[in-house]
Structure 1
Amino acid sequence: MYACRCRPVILPTGTVVITAKERRQTVADGARANDGAAAKQERSGSTRSARLPRDERRAQLLNAALEVFVSNGFHGAAMDEIAETAHVSKPVLYQHFPSKRDLYMALLDSHLAALTELMLSALNSTTDNKERVKAVMRAYYKFIADDDQAHRLVFESDLINDPDVSSRLETFNKTFADAVAHVIAEDTKLPPLEAQLLGRGLAGMAQVSARYWLETDGNLDLDVASDLIYRLAWRGISRFPKES
Structure 2
Amino acid sequence: MVTEQFDLDETRPRGVRLPRRERRAQLLAAALEVFVAQGYHAAAMDDIAERAGVSKPVLYQHFPGKLELYLAILDAACDSIIANCREALESTQDNKQRVAAAIDAFYAYVGHDTGAFRLVFESDLTNEPAVRGHVDRVTTECAAMIATVIKEDTGLPASASQLLAVSLVGMAQVSARFWLTEAESGLADLTRDQATALVAGLAWRGIRGYPLND
TM-score normalized with structure 2 length: 0.90
Q: Give 5+ residue unaligned stretches, structure 2.
A: 1-12
Q: Percent identity?
A: 53
| Distance in 1 (alpha carbons) for counterparts of 2:111 and 2:202 | 21
Partner of 2:194: 224
The structure, 1 or 2, with the larger RCO (C-alpha pairs under 8 Å, 6+ apart) is 2
Residue aligning to 2:8: none
Q: Across the two proteins, how many residue pairs are aligned to each other?
A: 198
AA paired with 1:98? P
Tell me the CA shift for residue 190 of structure 1: 0.6
Separation in structure 1 between the aligned mates of residue 180 and residue 127 of structure 2, nearest angstrom: 23
Among 61, 68, 71, the residue aligned to 2:37: 71
Q: Deviations over 1:25-83 (max 9, x none)?
A: xxxxxxxxxxxxxxxxxxxxxx6242111111111100000100011111100111101
Alignment of 1:56-135 (within 5 A): 56-135=22-101
User: Residue 199 of structure 1: which of 150, 162, 165 is its match?
Assistant: 165
Shift of 1:103: 0.4
Q: Is the Cα–Cα contact under 8 Å of residues 104 and 196 in structure 2 kept in the other structure?
A: yes
Q: In the alignment, which residue of structure 1 is the partner of 2:150?
A: 184
Change (3 A) 1:125 1:49: farther
Q: Is the CA contact (8 Å cut-off) linking 2:81 and 2:105 kept in structure 1?
A: no
Pairing partner for 1:215 from 175, 181, 184: 181
Q: Which has the larger radius of gyration?
A: 1
Q: Secondary structure at the match of 2:77?
A: helix
Q: Distance in 1 between matches of 2:151 and 2:123?
A: 33
In structure 2, what residue type is equivalent to 1:157? Answer: S
**TM-score (norm. length: structure 1):** 0.79
Q: Which residue of 2 aligns with 1:42?
A: none
Determine the structure 2 residue equivalent to 1:30.
none
Tell me by how many angstroms 1:96 deviates: 0.3
- Tell me if 1:242 matches 2:208: no
Q: Which runs of 5+ in 1 are unaligned?
A: 1-46
Q: Distance in 1 between matches of 2:78 and 2:140?
A: 12
Question: What is the CA-CA distance between 1:217 and the residue it aligns to?
Answer: 2.1
Per-residue CA deviations over 1:182-218 (Å, capped at 9, x if unaligned) read 0000001211111111111111110111111111125
**Is the contact made by 2:78 and 2:137 (CA closer than 8 Å) also made in structure 1?**
no
3-state SS in 2 of match to 1:216: helix
Q: How far apart are the structure 2 equivalents of 1:194 and 1:226? A: 24
CA distance in structure 2 between the aligned counterparts of 1:117 and 1:53, rounded to whole angstroms: 27
TM-aligned CA deviation for residue 138 of structure 1: 1.1
In the TM superposition, structure 1's runs of 4+ consecutive aligned residues that sit over 2 Å from their partners are none
Alignment partners' CA distance in 2, 1:201 and 1:75: 31
Q: Of 119, 122, 125, which aligns to 1:156?
A: 122
